[in-house]
Structure 1
Amino acid sequence: MRLRTSLSVALLSAVTLTGACARSDRSSSAPRESAPAPVQAAALNLQAQAPAPGVPPLAQRAMRITVDTTILVDAFDPAMQRLRTAVEEHGGYVSEARVHGGPHRSASLEARVPSAKVGAFRAVVASAGEVVADAEKAEDVTEQRADIGARLRNARAQEKRLLDLLSDRTGSLADVVAVEKQLGSVRETIEQIEAQERLLEGQIAYATVKISITTRREEPTVGAGGRIARAAREGVENAGAVVVSTVVLLAAAGPTLLLLAALGGALFYTLRALVRRQQRRAAATFRPLFQAGPMHPYPPPPTGAPPAQGPQPHPTGAPPAQGPHGGGGEVGPG
């Protein structure tokens, strides 16, 4: 009975601890609400009245420091070597480095330097070149550190209670299995909290310094002939780029254009054949009302036949003169 009562209390405590850890996770990730003005004023007065002996109040806070600096250098390799040496001399290490080639080389370094030596290291960085941009951020994580410590102490206390229950073998096998299962869950929670604590302590102990290094660009003095040659070279390069772009465009759109041309030609010839067939059908079904026959010359008169009656054509081809009575003879005298 005592084991079951203890088991019930332990399980209730574990559930309470799990809920508290979840609420603490949400509260640590979400921004904390500010306390009322009277509470803040009282806290400030208390700190002002009872400061730590011989230690500034700021030194009691846990700070997470991040520095971002951009410098211009005349010589790339000596500057890089100097910065790496300075990181090692100040007890830090380079966590990430990227170097970009080209006519004007550049690089980006991310170093972890002890927080107590950030000022001295920044002085070395400033002396390595011309500082064109500089930013520093200090984030207060004192409350977050205290919260993680409280969660870790509660989880370890819960683990100790569960271990004490397992040391008493008077309960049933089902009770023992339930306690071991809960003990595994609590130990997993302890490992997660310890990982968060190690990460936070590392961020507090070592500041993150990001350095961007760029080689200074100096434009050489060019005379008139050099400018003309450069303009001609740029013109040739632009013309070549236009030709290459045109060829690329034709190569990309050529198959599509050929397919469209083939489809258009097939459609054109099909429509023309249909139109011609329709025209032939229309011509075959059309019959005019009257159709003149072929023209034939009159047959010559037979030999020995009497001359044809009627006016004869004049030898000269002129028509005969008409008489007063409409006759075709000549008009006599008187």
Structure 2
Amino acid sequence: MQNAGKLIHKSGLLLSVLVGGVIFTSCGSAPPPESQALAPVPAPAPGAADNVGQKVQAAQVPRSRPQLIKKAAMTVIVNSVDKSIETVTQIINRQQGDLIGLNEQQPTKEDSRHTASIQLRVPQNLLESTLEELAKLGTVENRNITAEDVGSQLVDFQARLTNLRKTEANLQKIMDRAGSVRDILSVAQELSNVRQSIEQIYAQLKNLQNQIAYSTITLKLEAAVSSSSPQRGVSSQVQETWNNSTQSLGNFTVGLLKLGIWLMVYSPYLLILAGGGYTFYRWRRNRVISH
């Protein structure tokens, strides 16, 4: 009985040791929750965050539209310059534009051609359609369009105008708090200079915006054939001769009247000179006779 009890006791002790070893091994192999939570996170590559931020910012900021000043030039060969000028005037009125200048040159020689140079201004969004209408006047010899982006100038003018207006407001506050007359006059002079700068920049800004809103077209019209000077009729030549002769007679008559008026005004001096001359003549004559 004692041997059997010892055997049972040894078997229970061995079983306890085996179970404890299994539990200890499993506990040692499994990482604790804290170690998993505190596991290091890989650091991002250098500059990756900046690149991502720039991409996001570029996606959020819309691209500004270019502010263009457009100018066009066109030469058109037409059958009649006079009729084409009338048509151009109608086109300008339809396109809500303005006629800036007109320089027409009539033919002076037999081999010269009738030409005209026209400068007009139309809204920029109607530039292409206006050029298409002008091209229908005849045969287009040449055509070109130029564009200049002045967006940076607009931004510069607006920024300077904003800063000057802030300076104006600050100077006005200082002037309101100024005590002595000398300080008031000094601030008033600075305020006047700032306001003058504001007016100048504002005028430049409005001029730039006006050039952006309206495009300028320089149109040159040339007659298709040279115009020979028409032969003048006999009646027109006779009429011209009569006009020239009557005008010459009138000028000669007016000249005589003017001469008479001058002689009348200076007649006292002429009489004095005539009397002096006659007296000198008599004196010389008497002297010669006495000798």
TM-score band, normalised by shorter chain: 0.5 to 0.7
**What is the distance in 1 between the residues matched to 2:167 and 2:58?**
38
- Deviation of 1:82 after TM superposition, in Å, equals 0.8
The aligned residue for residue 80 of structure 2 is 75
- Deviation of 1:78 after TM superposition, in Å, equals 1.4
**What is the distance in 1 between the residues matched to 2:95 and 2:57?**
34
The aligned residue for residue 216 of structure 1 is 224
The aligned residue for residue 119 of structure 2 is 110
**What is the distance in 2 between the residues matched to 1:89 and 1:83?**
10
**What is the distance in 2 between the residues matched to 1:72 and 1:50?**
52
**What is the distance in 2 between the residues matched to 1:165 and 1:138?**
45
Amino acid corresponding to residue 121 of structure 2 in structure 1: R
The structure-2 alpha-carbon separation of the partners of 1:112 and 1:47, relative to structure 1 and needing over 3 Å to count, comes to farther
The aligned residue for residue 160 of structure 2 is 151
**What is the distance in 2 between the residues matched to 1:92 and 1:47?**
41
The structure-2 alpha-carbon separation of the partners of 1:168 and 1:219, relative to structure 1 and needing over 3 Å to count, comes to closer
1:176 is matched with which residue: 169, 184, 192?
184
The answer for unaligned runs of 5 or more in structure 2 is 1-53, 229-291
The aligned residue for residue 213 of structure 2 is 205
The structure-2 alpha-carbon separation of the partners of 1:88 and 1:132, relative to structure 1 and needing over 3 Å to count, comes to same
Amino acid corresponding to residue 68 of structure 1 in structure 2: A
What pairs with 1:4-23 in structure 2 (closer than 5 Å)?
none
**What is the distance in 1 between the residues matched to 2:208 and 2:106?**
36
Larger radius of gyration: 1
Alignment length (residue pairs)? 172
User: SS in structure 1 opposite 2:116?
Assistant: strand
**What is the distance in 2 between the residues matched to 1:46 and 1:76?**
59
1:160 aligns with 2:169: yes
The answer for unaligned runs of 5 or more in structure 1 is 1-43, 221-334
Which stretch shows the higher mean deviation, 96-105 or 150-159?
96-105
The normalised TM-score by structure 1 is: 0.48
Q: Which has the higher contact order (CA 8 A, sep 6+)?
A: 2
1:127 aligns with 2:136: yes
The structure-2 alpha-carbon separation of the partners of 1:158 and 1:219, relative to structure 1 and needing over 3 Å to count, comes to closer
- Deviation of 1:88 after TM superposition, in Å, equals 1.4
The structure-2 alpha-carbon separation of the partners of 1:48 and 1:180, relative to structure 1 and needing over 3 Å to count, comes to closer
The normalised TM-score by structure 2 is: 0.55
1:61 aligns with 2:79: no
What pairs with 1:199-278 in structure 2 (closer than 5 Å)?
199-217=207-225
- Deviation of 1:164 after TM superposition, in Å, equals 1.0
User: SS in structure 1 opposite 2:174?
Assistant: helix
User: SS in structure 2 opposite 1:214?
Assistant: strand
1:85 aligns with 2:80: no
The aligned residue for residue 96 of structure 1 is 101
- Deviation of 1:45 after TM superposition, in Å, equals 7.5
User: SS in structure 1 opposite 2:142?
Assistant: strand
**What is the distance in 2 between the residues matched to 1:47 and 1:205?**
31
The structure-2 alpha-carbon separation of the partners of 1:47 and 1:204, relative to structure 1 and needing over 3 Å to count, comes to farther
Cα RMSD after superposing both structures: 2.5
- Deviation of 1:49 after TM superposition, in Å, equals 3.9
**What is the distance in 2 between the residues matched to 1:71 and 1:47?**
50
Q: Percent identity?
A: 27
The aligned residue for residue 254 of structure 2 is none
